A and B are shown apart, each in its own frame.
Chain A
Amino acid sequence: MRPRHPKRDQVPFPLRILGSSVVVLVILLMGLPMVNVLAVSLSEAGASDAPGLVLFPSPATLQGYFFIWNYVDLRGPFLNTLYVSVVGTLIHVILSSLAGYILTQQDLPFRGLMTSFVLLTMTVPSELALIGIYTVNKDLQLVNTYAGLIVNGMISGFSVLLMRNYFSSIPTSLVEAARIDGCSEFKIFRRVYLHLSVPGIMTIGTLELIRRWNNISLTVALISDMKKWTLPVVLRWILFDQTSTSGTEYIFNNAKMAAVVLTALPLVILYFFAQRFFTAGALLGSTKG
């Protein structure tokens, strides 16, 4: 039989078998738990707590979702997290693009100094300054506020670097042409730079949205008021803590797993719509520099 890809050689047969088994194993190890979670979340309360592996709910029901959404009030944290993540990401994208644009100006005096000032912040992971961050936010009265969650991470060295690289790949002739046509600097920024950097903007936007939606460390450092917790922190409480808090009703597995799905779903949906920007982000992360 002729191979379908005549241009490629194959590894020896025993290794091919080994490779295929690894692929099957990976699919099972990664896929089955996800299917299991989804199936349990769609099961009835009683069935979801019964022993045995559920990979297909019968009968399928959304009662777990209704319970967790209305009764345990996941709606509140869900909307809070959406608000904090979306607003924070918008500001992040605007400020990072702006900074990237400023640092692209070739003959801007002190450009090197300004660039170093921004990029130096990438060298230390912010988690290592957790206590300092907490104290600063406390002094600015940002503790236990959504403003605190939005302001921290309003812009980052990484995103500025990314946008700067994007902007500097735009040919100057294009900018000159726009200038000759009488465009104002702001119009040039908007029409030329932003327009041509949509992929870059989408990339930092998706990365930032994921980071904010999933964030735990900053939230638990700044927010001690349970009512203001974001989704991941509430989810942890639902999964592991609420049994030890008195006065709450027993939460069945189906409702717990519904909470898991509701926390993960928005980003999974985003992934399938904006897949290429995720890969672009991965590509950028993999270049040595």
Chain B
Amino acid sequence: MDKKLLGRMKKYKFLYFLFLPIAVYFAVFAYYPFIKGILLSFQENRLIGNRPFVGTSNYEAVLSDPDFLQSVKNSLIIGLTDMVLYFVLSLLLALILNEVFSALLRKTTQTIAYLPYLFSWSVIGGVWALVFDLRGMANLVLGFFEIEPVFFLAEPALARPLVIGMGVWRSVGYFSLLYAVAIVAIGPSLFEAARIDGAGRLKQIRKIILPALRGTMKTIAVFLAIGVLTHFDEIYVMVNPANRQRIRTLLLYVYETGILNFKTGTASAGAALVMAGTLIITAATRRLIKYDKE
């Protein structure tokens, strides 16, 4: 038996040889950083040299840091609002577009809505800088209703809505495309049968399309749940002294504390808590949508 196994392994020795660098890559750049991060969270803040273990003091430090607590709040508000809006608005857009009879209009709208998903967050930051400029499009609309111009990007009260809006603008088209792909896959015979039974279009949407989208909805929900606490790029692009209290998310806190201010221990403790939070949010979402059933 063992000889047989060895023989088979010998047959594939070249493939093992090729797999070696791949395994090394994952070990060094995926597993090790993860374990390292957890180790660092129990060690003293030092960038080089040996770092003595300090028990849970990093966690105590991070949990008593008002900046961290504020970023927990920011992350939850921005992350959860984004999650709900992406999910609901993209579903609505897909359903509405599906009712558009002109294929050209449907395809054009889909493409226009999808394009921003290709853009870097900096590009979207540029679009926002122009649209929400003191003399930009948004203030032009306000002017039409005779409202005084607003300096959107420096107004703390508007900081979170603007960042959430960026995400919606960028992502709704992409997620609605995922729904659209699933709608197209529904067999036409189902609709014909429903019509013969006298079901109107609305009832067809409710009884055929929505149930058919359940799998896609679950996948998207879990995907979004994993992302709730990982907002970084758009915050990095948009953060300024006027809005930082409102939009600094957990990952920006981790980045600033660990990489810009060299407090690797504190930052890693923060990151470990974000990881735990992500697990909790994902598990809660899975349970809420009964992901593992069926």
Contact = CB atoms under 8 A, between A and B. Distances in A.
Interface of A: 4-5, 7-12, 15-16, 19-20, 22-23, 26-27, 29-34, 36-37, 40, 50-53, 95, 98-99, 102, 105, 107-109, 114, 117-118, 121, 124-136, 138, 140, 151-152, 154-155, 157, 185, 210, 213-214, 216-217, 220-221, 231-233, 235-236, 239-240, 253, 256-257, 259-260, 263-264, 267-268, 271, 278-279, 282-283, 285-288
Interface residues of B, number: 98
23 contacts: A8-B201, A12-B202, A50-B135, A95-B22, A108-B15, A118-B26, A121-B26, A124-B275, A125-B226, A131-B37, A131-B268, A132-B33, A134-B258, A151-B29, A154-B25, A155-B25, A213-B120, A214-B119, A236-B236, A240-B238, A264-B118, A264-B123, A286-B220
Contacts, number: 272
B57 interface: no
A133 B251 CA distance: 14
Given A23-B105, A131-B267, A132-B33, 17 more contacts: A7-B192, A19-B99, A27-B108, A33-B127, A33-B130, A34-B115, A36-B131, A108-B15, A128-B271, A129-B36, A130-B251, A131-B259, A135-B264, A136-B29, A154-B25, A240-B237, A282-B174
Contacts of B169: 29-30, 33
Nearest to B239: A240
Contact of A11 (B201, B236, B267): B201
B157 interface: no
Contacts of A37: 126-127, 130
A7 B188 contact: yes
A253 B130 contact: yes
The 5 A-B residue pairs with the shortest CB-CB distance, nearest first, are: A132-B33, A260-B126, A132-B37, A214-B120, A51-B135
Given A9-B204, A118-B22, A239 B126 contact: yes
B35 interface: yes
Q: Which of B19, B105, B227 has the most CB of A within 10 A?
A: B19
Secondary structure of the B side of the interface?
A: helix
A287 B185 CA distance: 12
Interface of B: 5, 8-9, 12, 14-15, 18-19, 21-23, 25-26, 28-37, 40, 47, 92-93, 96-97, 99-101, 105, 108-109, 112-116, 118-123, 125-127, 129-131, 135, 137, 140, 169, 173-174, 177-178, 181-182, 188, 191-192, 195, 200-202, 204-205, 215-216, 218-220, 223, 226-227, 230, 232-233, 236-238, 240, 251, 254-255, 258-259, 264, 267-268, 271, 274-275, 278
Contact of B123 (A22, A210, A263): A263
Contact of B29 (A95, A127, A133): A133
B227 A125 contact: yes
Contact of B200 (A9, A216, A256): A9
Contacts of A210: 118
Nearest to A124: B34
